[in-house]
Amino acid sequence: MIPCEYCGNEIRKDVKKCHFCGSFQGVKGLIAHWGNTISVLLALISILALLVPPAITALKGDYSDVSATIVDADFGNYEVLLTNIGNRPSVLISAGIEVKKEDDFIAFFSIDLGENNRKVIPENGSTYIYYSSDFFLPALADSLKDKTDLDELDESDCFLQIRFSQFNNEPEKKIIEYDCLFVSIDDQEIILEATKNGNPVPGLSTVKILGKKKFFLPTKESLSWARNQRKSELNADTPPPVR
């Protein structure tokens, strides 16, 4: 004889149902005992799933909630994913990249958003920014370290700035900070001028990564050449000492 799992009265071990309280024993009894409770809980969860979104909307009103993620960033191309988890669309106004070194401002690059310069980020949806340049953009350090020989190029601090308009027309800004490899403006100007004039730049090559637009890939040789060119120009501009 064993006690009933629910009323405690002694019943035979082989019976499946207690003849005192009518409860099934074992797994079947457990399901029968908790079945109603589980059904009620499932019903409550279903009701909450229907009521919570409208409740949030009632409390917060119509809103946009945009986040930005850098998918890829090399010296010539940027790909940024914009995601809006709000219940209303948002409008992208502008984007840019600020470069700093030890909190000192170095440069700012404005990202051209193309002909439709105001891109809509749909509610509960996403959109991409694709930006290409023929010259040196600040590259995402982690994605290009093994593709270049620029171990001598110091890493800088980059800040991707995304400006967008909320559903209520209130402007907002998102900032993503990341480590980047940056070719100085002085070096860029020397190399750009040479390429525009059709003059060869030692070590400079154009590459195409994963089917993207071709861009210049800096090397130690090309940067060293640019710095020597700058030194030569500075020496030429310096008047000889008076004797």
Which residues pair with residue 96 across a beta bridge? 110, 161
The whole-number pLDDT of residue 53 equals 61
pLDDT in tens, 101-150: 888 888 888 887 765 567 888 988 998 888 887 677 888 877 665 555 55
On the question of pLDDT at 220 being above 70, the answer is yes
Give residue limits of the domains in the chain: 2-60, 66-236
From the list 101, 64, 65, 94, the residue with the least C-alpha distance to 80 is: 94
pLDDT in tens, 7-56: 878 877 777 778 777 777 766 555 555 566 777 777 788 877 676 666 55
Judging by beta carbons within 10 Å of its beta carbon (0-12, 13-18, 19+), is residue 75 exposed, middle or buried?
A: buried
Cα–Cα distance, 215 to 233 (Å, whole number): 27
The whole-number pLDDT of residue 109 equals 84
Cα–Cα distance, 121 to 104 (Å, whole number): 33
User: Are 183 and 75 a contacting pair, CB within 8 Å?
Assistant: yes
pLDDT in tens, 130-144: 888 767 788 887 766
- Token pair 């470069």 is found at 99
Per DSSP, 56 falls in state: H
**Coil, strand or helix: which one is 16?**
coil
What sign does the dihedral 238-239-240-243 (CA atoms) show?
A: negative
The whole-number pLDDT of residue 198 equals 83
Q: In sequence order, which residues have a C-beta less than 8 Å from that of residue 215 and are 6 or more positions away?
A: 74, 75, 76, 77, 132, 133, 134, 135, 206, 207
pLDDT in tens, 52-97: 666 555 555 677 888 888 888 888 788 899 999 888 888 888 888 8
